[in-house]
Amino acid sequence: MLKVEELTTDYGPVRAVDGVSLEAPAGTVTAVLGANGAGKTSLLRTITGLVAARSGRVTVGGTDITRMAVEEIVRRGVAHVPEGRGVIAELTVEENLRLGGLWRRSGAAPVSEIYELFPRLDERQHQPASRLSGGERQMLSIGRALMGRPEVLLLDEPSLGLAPVIVAQIMAMIRALADNLGLAVLLVEQNARSALSIANRGIVLNLGRVVADREPGELAADEQLRHAYLGF
Amino acid sequence: MTKFIDLTLSGISDGAVYAAVALALVLIWRATRIVNFAQGAMLMITTFIASAVISSSGSYWLGFAVALGAGLVFGALVERVLIRPVESAPPLNAVILTLGLYTLLVAVAGMIWGNTPRSFPPAFSLRGYSVGGTRLLFTPNDTFIVLVVIGVAVALAALFRLTSLGLQMRASAFAPEVARLLGVRVARMFTVGWALAAVAGALAGVLVAPSVFLGPNSFDPILISGFVAAVLGGLDSPPGAVIGGVSLGVALSYVSGYAGSSLVPLAALVILVAVLMLRPGGLFAASAERRV
């Protein structure tokens, strides 16, 4: 499980993440919600070490990863699917997938396992990833993250730019990953309604701070909160 | 007709050397977006080392192998010691560093080995093949040059396409941040890229040294041709570098054979300007596909 304690991150003079604490237990989906600029992406980038934390602590299964390099954090079982999906367009679908499991060497998931999960990718194995649709790219980047058999999955706006039908499919799949593989999922979303529909817990950020940390049902029922931060 | 074929063949041989230099520049450019102006000086140093080994051991092949090995170590060292510290700074900082390294290496070579160019032995005979009584420009050593460069190009292609090291290197070049998030040790991949580039450079050095002689500044013109070849091929693509090198070699060989060798540097410049004006992405650019 992932545990974040009093995490603070600055971009120059701007405080992007301000004393955030949260827990993402194994087998659950924790939704991190909030408007543009609320600090959601910065939170994920700090957890994976792309941005250095100013203070606070991040632990995975009890191991402190706060000051580790990105490559080492990945090796502690944290997979980060970045905003915009991060598919490498110049590589083929299969090359993208293989890349995700290389650090695990023989411990990586077999590519066939990912193709079983996403039959659409199987049909396009040898095509460059640049030819994929938005939904397929999202499947590829999630599948690629699964190649390293992570324990913690950080997803940054997986619904961005996708049609509602595809968003529903992706959300259902994220839920299934938490249930079936026991992953601790931290799901950053602007699409609060979709995210809350599959989440065990909802956290609302504003200006880098946690303004609410509740059950999804309670969040959706709080009209003031919904209007102020969630946009529905 | 014989002259045409002969010029084509010797152009291919010159072009193979340009291709090797272009590969050295391209491997570094696509990994770290730096034009390595020190490449000519780095291959000069490795060729001097080869020369020292050959004259003390008497074995050409030992010198050849030592040059490549020295290139490997030298390239990795330059990346780790000079380039890594300015990796997050604007690329211009690193480019200026390579210019500084160029100056330093040329001065050091002059101090150690002197500034008078010396001869360097070829691997095979420099007497042209004789066909029907006429002696060609194309020599057995040219055959060797062409075959070695083809071998290196094929080996690099295989490395990039077929191995997981190559996959990680390509990922690091295309999308360094995503590669890090997938656990690729990107900094290490850059070191490997610089090392391989310096091997290609060292190879060009020992191959061309018999015809340009060996001195601190002997390889400056080769670096310029290699740069033109790299631009011709799109700066980003190793196959482009090879095709660019060979095309340039053949074109310059025709200019030299039909219009006079004094026009060669001018012709190279004209080709460079023409490519930059008409196809700034290079003749074989992959950049159109790279928009995401």
Q: A52 in contact with B at a CB cutoff of 8 Å? A: no
Could you read off the pLDDT of A38-54 as tens digits, one per residue? 999 999 999 999 999 99
Residue B292 has pLDDT above 50, yes or no: no
Which of residues B134 and B36 earns the better pLDDT score?
B36
Could you read off the pLDDT of B56-68 as tens digits, one per residue? 999 999 999 999 9
Residue ranges for chain A with pLDDT beneath 50: none
**How open is the CA angle B182-A40-A20, to the nearest 5 degrees?**
105
B24-34 mean pLDDT: 90
Q: Which residues of B touch A50 (CB under 8 A)?
A: 177, 180-181
**Does the predicted interface ipTM exceed a cut of 0.95?**
no
Could you read off the pLDDT of B229-268 as tens digits, one per residue? 999 988 888 889 999 999 999 999 999 999 988 998 889 8
pLDDT confidence tier of residue B285, bands split at 50, 70 and 90: low
pLDDT confidence tier of residue B81, bands split at 50, 70 and 90: very high
Q: Least CA distance to B172: which residue of chain A?
A: A88
pLDDT of residue B282: 78
* Cβ within 8 Å, pair B178-A86: yes
CA distance B178 to chain A (A): 6
**Distance between CA B171 and CA B178 in Å, rounded?**
8
**Distance between CA A211 and CA A201 in Å, rounded?**
14
Give residues with Cβ within 8 angstroms of B64, minimum separation 6: B50, B123, B206
Candidates A50, A90, A130; nearest CB to B177: A50
Candidates A86, A95, A100; nearest CB to B175: A86
CA A188 to chain centre: 6
Could you read off the pLDDT of B196-210 as tens digits, one per residue? 999 999 999 999 999
B205-227 mean pLDDT: 92
pTM as predicted = 0.88
Per cent of chain B over pLDDT 70 is 97
CA distance A226 to chain B (A): 33
Q: A85 in contact with B at a CB cutoff of 8 Å? A: no
CA distance A32 to chain B (A): 20
* Cβ within 8 Å, pair B174-A75: no
Using alpha carbons, select from A208, A219, A215, A167 the residue that is nearest to residue A191: A167
For residue A165, give Cα distances in angstroms to A141, A142, A162, A170, A172.
Answer: 19, 18, 8, 9, 11
Could you read off the pLDDT of A98-147 as tens digits, one per residue? 999 999 988 888 999 999 999 999 999 999 999 999 999 999 999 999 99
pLDDT of residue B291: 39
B21-33 mean pLDDT: 91
pLDDT of residue B3: 86
pLDDT of residue B75: 96
Q: A45 in contact with B at a CB cutoff of 8 Å? A: no
Could you read off the pLDDT of B88-126 as tens digits, one per residue? 888 889 999 999 999 999 999 999 999 899 999 999 988
Q: A71 in contact with B at a CB cutoff of 8 Å? A: yes
Q: Which residues of B touch A86 (CB under 8 A)?
A: 175, 177-178, 181
* Cβ within 8 Å, pair A102-B290: no
pLDDT of residue B177: 93
pLDDT of residue B288: 46
Q: A50 in contact with B at a CB cutoff of 8 Å? A: yes
Q: Which residues of B touch A102 (CB under 8 A)?
A: 164, 167-168, 182-184
Candidates A89, A95, A103; nearest CB to B292: A89
